[in-house]
Each structure stands twice: as structure tokens, then as C-alpha cells.
Homo-oligomer: A and B are copies of this chain.
Amino acid sequence: MLYSLEFRVRDYECDLQGIVNNANYQHYYEHTRHEFLIENNISFAALHEQQIDFVVARVEMSYKYPLRSGDSFVSELDFRQEGIKYVFIQKIYRLPDRKLCNIGRFDCVCLDHGRLKKCELLDDFIRKITTEK
């Protein structure tokens, strides 16, 4: 596992079933990806200003167990390259018991001025983390 980030459920993220609304898992995963990139000096917002947009092309999420008001959890991330795609495998575990709550897979691509392109910044980064392993 390459990166992890701890969160706490916020009550406004829960819906009338008393559980975290499904769409918020996507928010948790996105924030985890962006923090992971920031920590490696890749800013989603700064890239956008250079008209390089890092976008999600495909999402898969399995809802295993619901998070509730008051829960803490950890969001874990793994990352690999598949051709032009950057694939993030992400999981959410409730804390402290590490009950698996959600598994996600996010296929991302890089748009340079709106055109699909390999992103040098990300490719350099991937070479770096692959060598370090």
C-alpha cells in the first residue's frame, strides 16, 4: 500500500438512512488521491492552471459495510500504470477494527489542452516509486 489517509465521518455526509451517502465515498477517494499526489509534489489545481487535467474515466465501487455518524476510517491507496491509464486501487476500512467498508477502482487519464496524452510528471513519478519498491 502506497499511501493512506485517516478521516472522520461528518454528520452532513450521512443521509436519511443514517449512513454515509454513497456518493461521499467517491469524495473520500478523490481527496485521498489528491493528497497522495500533493505529497508527491503533483498538484491537481496547479496542473489545471497549465491546462493539464487529470480526470477519472471509469469508476468501480463495491459497498461492503456502511460507515455511520461518529465513525473514523482510513482510506488506503495503491497505484499502477496500464498504458495510457493510471489505475488507483483504493479501500476504506473503519477504525479501529479495520472492518472493510468499501473497495474502489479508479481509471484516470490525463488531458493536455483537452487531448488524451501521457502525463510526463506522472510518468516520472511512477518510475520513481517503482524503482524505490
**Can you sample 30 A-B contacts with CB below 8 Å?**
A10-B27, A10-B31, A10-B34, A11-B15, A11-B30, A11-B45, A12-B21, A14-B16, A14-B45, A15-B15, A16-B45, A16-B48, A17-B48, A22-B26, A22-B30, A22-B59, A23-B23, A23-B24, A23-B30, A43-B70, A45-B68, A45-B70, A55-B63, A56-B63, A57-B62, A57-B63, A58-B61, A59-B59, A59-B63, A60-B60
The 9 closest A-B pairs by CB, nearest first: A45-B69, A23-B26, A10-B31, A14-B16, A23-B23, A59-B61, A16-B18, A58-B62, A11-B34
Number of copies of this kind of chain in the complex: 4
